[in-house]
Amino acid sequence: MTADRHRVVVLALDGVIPFELGIPQRIFGRARTAAGDPLYEVLTCGVRGPGPVMTDADFAILVEHGPQALASADTVIVPASYELGPVYEEGRLTPELSAALAHVRPGTRMVSICTGSWVLAAAGLLDGRPATTHWADAEAFQRMFPAVRVDADVLFVDDGDVLTSAGVAAGIDLCLHLVRRDHGAAVANDVARRTVVPPHRDGGQAQYVHRPVPEPGLASTTAARAWALARLHEPIQLRDMAEQESMSVRTFTRRFREEVGVSPGQWLTGQRVERARHLLETSDLGIDQVARESGFGTAQSMRQHLQAALGVTPTAYRRTFHRSAERGGGGHLLGR
């Protein structure tokens, strides 16, 4: 490992779900510099020591590192497990798990995938913070940890040094978000292409919650979204989007939220932020022109939206992530 490569340590607990366990290696392990050098090192450890860890499938995995590896982590990721005992039942860590987490250095970035959030909450890391988990467990999670501000509608929550994801594949969304946060959209998009997943999914997990089957014949909002994406640089009114589906504004708004998980306005702003990021990274257009091309109209409006979404100004974002910028192994962190 080079001295400046970001180390991600994944904590494999008994009963770990293999899919979630493999996400960090797949996403962070594919992140490369323009020269092809790895940007992260990913290690997997157990709570006891090197050896077998049972999964929730009909096989075990063999980890080569014990909990001491957590002391060297820049980011610790806790995937979901179905065998957490007192964590689920009483909201407290086992002595073994508590001892393992004691190796984590102060300031280490802590991340959970799916119900791995229970471990972070039991450790007290989510008290007073926003967080999410699988939508099916959200109510029980809130009851067990009332100090946590649970949001069951989102795919992930970024609270700076502590991040939580919703169920299963939302772990991919969160890991791609971290790559994007650390090294920019171009690197994250390359990882997404190699993984054959979208670099950014619309909406939240509300769209996956079971609901009664809608009435037959009701149209979706797909055409309206495609229409808007082709015109991000133009003023777009809600009624214009509704007209693409021959719906009233009220019906369209309800249907859009059901399908995407956010309001049309929130979705449109998110798409414009992504467009602005792309232009800031890959073009030499002036800030005013980037603002116009991404649909914000003015540099001031774009600055406000990027500050809210990314915590940085357009100029600072370009300085960090423009294609001409020198990128070291560790990259830059963008807090919220």
- Kindly list the catalytic residues: 114
CA distance between the termini of the chain: 29
CB 233 within 8 A of CB 292: yes
Buried b (16+ CB within 10 A) or exposed e, 313-324: bbebbbebbeee
CB atoms inside a 10 Å sphere around CB 283: 14
pTM: 0.74
Token output for 110: 């802590």
CB 178 within 8 A of CB 20: no
CB atoms inside a 10 Å sphere around CB 237: 10
- pLDDT by residue for the chain (336 residues), tens only, comes to 445 799 999 999 999 999 999 999 999 999 999 899 999 999 999 999 899 999 999 999 999 999 999 999 999 999 999 888 899 999 999 999 999 999 999 999 999 999 999 999 999 999 999 999 998 999 999 999 999 999 988 889 999 999 999 988 999 999 999 999 999 888 998 999 899 888 777 656 655 555 444 444 455 898 999 999 999 999 999 999 999 999 999 999 999 988 887 899 999 999 999 899 989 988 999 999 999 999 999 999 999 999 888 888 999 888 888 876 544 433 333 433
Question: Which DSSP state fits 277?
Answer: H
